[in-house]
Amino acid sequence: MIVPSAGRRCGQLASGSLMCPPMTTPPYQPGYPQPGYPQGVSDKSKIIAGILGILLGTFGAGRFYTGHTKIAVLQLVVSLVTCGVGALWGVIDGILILVNGGTDAQGRPLRDS
C-alpha cells in the first residue's frame, strides 16, 4: 500500500497518476434501500398500528395489522385468560409503536404517516 506523503492525496504517485483503493460500498442513492433496511420501508403506518394497539389491543389488532400473527394471537389469549387484564399489554404495545416505531412481519420499519 502506498502511503501518501505531504501534498499528495489518495496515493498519488510521483508521475501524477492516482492509486486509490476501490470503493467497497456504493454511495447512498435516494429511492434505493438504506443499509440495515434491505427491503426498504413498510407500506403499513405506525400511527394506525399504534392506535389499533391502544384501542383494540385486547384483540391484538395492532399486531394483526403489521402481520405479526403469533404475537396477536398471544395477546388475544392472554386477554381472555386474564379476564381482560392482559389488555394492558396491547395498550402499552400501541404506545411503544407510536413512540419508537416498529416493524412489519418482513422486518421493514413502519412508515411514519
Instruction: Give the pLDDT confidence of 97-110 residue by residue, as tens digits.
Output: 999 999 999 999 99
Which pTM was predicted?
0.65
| The residue count for the chain | 113
Helices 87-100 and 46-56 cross at an angle (nearest 10°) of: 160
CB-count exposure of residue 41 (10 Å: 0-12, 13-18, 19+): middle
The pLDDT-based confidence of 113 (bands split at 50, 70, 90) is confident
- Grid cell, residue 32, equals 434505493
The pLDDT-based confidence of 40 (bands split at 50, 70, 90) is confident
Alpha helices for 1-113 (secondary structure H): 46-56, 61-66, 69-81, 87-100
Instruction: Give the pLDDT confidence of 65-75 residue by residue, as tens digits.
Output: 999 999 999 99
